[in-house]
């Protein structure tokens, strides 16, 4: 009796495996994917082998998804909190004060660098000979620092110009 039961169980497992294999087949018919095709459709469709396939149906038509909606604007994000005008003026004023302090520090640093650079001939240090590579490297470094500092000053001035003019007098 146990022999019949194990044989029946073996047949059940094999038939279930064959059914699962038949339903696990995925066919591509044009742009559509399906796992249920007739013999005639199977000739026109291509069997997809290996790996799993996930097909996600789109929710919007192609025309609707490519055009922005009438209510959306790219320049103003709607997720940010609104700030009243008094608070915004205060923030702008604080930003102006911070930028002016940064500009003053950058200009002072620029004056120091100009003095040290001395029109491309800075004073030699004790460890720098008359034709020393170390001296040439230091001159090149000073020149790079000057250019970088000039760029910083120009950037700070641009930021100051972008601030609203009404915050200038507070």
Within a domain: 26: no
Q: In what order do the strands lie in the sheet with 46-48?
A: 32-34, 26-29, 46-48
Structural domains of the chain, count: 1
Q: What is the pLDDT of residues 107-129, one digit of tens each?
A: 999 999 999 999 989 999 998 88
Within a domain: 106: yes
Q: CA-based angle 118:121:148, to the nearest 5?
A: 60
Within a domain: 29: no
CA distance 1 to 116: 104
pLDDT at 77: 54
Within a domain: 115: yes
Q: Is the pTM of this model over 0.75?
A: no
Q: At what angle do helices 85-117 and 133-162 cross, to 10 degrees?
A: 160
Element (H, E) at 28: strand 26-29
Within a domain: 153: yes
Q: What is the pLDDT of residues 79-99, one digit of tens each?
A: 678 889 899 999 999 999 999
Domain holding 101, by residue range, is 85-167
pLDDT at 109: 97
pLDDT at 72: 47
Residues lower than pLDDT 50 in the chain: 1-2, 9-10, 12-22, 64-66, 71-73, 167-170
Within a domain: 61: no
pLDDT at 155: 96
Instruction: Give, in order, the Cα–Cα distances in Å from 35 to each of 1, 46, 147, 152, 154.
Output: 39, 11, 67, 64, 65
- CA within 13 Å, CB half, 60: 8
* DSSP-assigned beta bridge partners for residue 26: 48
Within a domain: 21: no
pLDDT at 5: 54
Within a domain: 44: no
């Amino acid at each position: 009796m146990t022999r019949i039961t194990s044989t029946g169980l073996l047949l059940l497992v094999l038939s279930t495996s064959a059914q699962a294999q038949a339903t696990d087949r995925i066919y591509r018919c044009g742009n559509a994917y399906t796992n249920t095709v007739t013999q005639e459709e199977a000739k026109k469709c291509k069997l997809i082998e290996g790996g799993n396939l996930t097909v996600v149906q789109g929710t919007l038509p192609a025309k609707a998804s490519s055009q922005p909606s009438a209510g959306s604007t790219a320049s103003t994000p709607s997720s940010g909190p609104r700030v009243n005008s008094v608070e915004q003026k205060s923030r702008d004023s604080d930003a102006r004060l911070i930028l002016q302090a940064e500009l003053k520090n950058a200009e002072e640093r620029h004056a120091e660098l100009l003095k040290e650079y001395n029109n491309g001939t800075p004073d030699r240090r004790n460890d720098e000979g008359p034709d020393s590579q170390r001296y040439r490297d230091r001159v090149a470094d000073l020149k790079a620092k000057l250019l970088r500092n000039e760029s910083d000053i120009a950037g700070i001035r641009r930021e100051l110009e972008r601030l609203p003019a009404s915050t200038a007098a507070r």
